[in-house]
């Protein structure tokens, strides 16, 4: 029994040494990559924030370029009224269609805007364990449509004293 434990200990120490060697090799490679990235940053100054992609999403059209967030979301959801959208699906759909944002944290700002739209019942929502799922809501009355349009024209949410920078 004692010999078996000693053999096991020796085997585990050998495995540990191999892992340490692998980690050292990986650390060296990462260090080299970081050096190259730093050199590239020095050679190519940062682009304007509007030019930086918010996600790795390929833009396929300019359909939402210049449109306010709420209007863009409603148009996106209206394209597939039966579909249930995750917030990530909405973010990616907006960006694919050319939505532009000056927000430093587009995800958080967009989630807040979706929350306000949900609370005002401008879109359908389903509560899940982790978040909400969204879908298109038919506009029932002319009054509701007029309220939505006036809010879009103002560019704000009505609940905030300072408009969100989207």
Q: What is the mean pLDDT of each run of 10 residues along the chain (166 residues)?
A: 91 94 91 86 63 66 92 94 91 90 86 93 91 86 44 42 51
In the numeric block, the tokens 């704000």 are attached to 156
Query: CA 108 to CA 85: how far, in whole Å?
Result: 17
Global pTM? 0.53
The count of C-alpha atoms lying within 13 angstroms of the C-alpha of 128, restricted to the half-sphere facing its C-beta, is 10
Do 1 and 71 share a domain, yes or no? Answer: no
Do 22 and 94 share a domain, yes or no? Answer: no
* Tokens representing residue 4 in the block: 């078996």
Do 120 and 70 share a domain, yes or no? Answer: yes
Do 85 and 68 share a domain, yes or no? Answer: yes
So what's the pLDDT on residue 1? 78
So what's the pLDDT on residue 114? 93
So what's the pLDDT on residue 140? 64
| CA distance to 23, 59, 144, per residue, from 147 (Å) | 59, 31, 5
Report the number of distinct structural domains present in the chain.
2
Domain that holds residue 22: 1-45
- Domain annotation covers residue 137: yes
CA torsion sign for 113, 119, 120, 125 is: positive
So what's the pLDDT on residue 67? 93
- Domain annotation covers residue 131: yes
């Amino acid at each position: 029994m004692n010999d078996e434990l000693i053999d096991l200990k020796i085997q585990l120490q050998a495995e540990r040494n191999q892992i340490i060697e692998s980690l050292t090799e990986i650390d060296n490679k990462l260090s080299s990559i970081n050096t190259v990235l730093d050199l590239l940053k020095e050679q190519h100054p940062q682009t304007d924030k509007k030019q930086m992609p918010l996600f790795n999403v390929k833009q396929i059209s300019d359909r939402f370029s210049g449109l306010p967030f709420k209007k863009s979301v409603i148009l996106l959801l209206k394209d597939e009224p039966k579909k249930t959208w995750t917030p990530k699906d909405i973010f990616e759909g907006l960006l694919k269609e050319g939505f532009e944002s000056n927000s430093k944290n587009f995800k958080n700002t967009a989630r807040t805007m979706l929350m306000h739209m949900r609370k005002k019942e401008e879109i359908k929502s389903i509560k899940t364990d982790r978040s909400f799922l969204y879908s298109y809501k038919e506009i029932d009355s002319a009054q509701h449509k007029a309220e939505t349009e006036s809010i879009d024209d103002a560019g704000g949410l009505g609940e905030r004293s300072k408009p969100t920078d989207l």
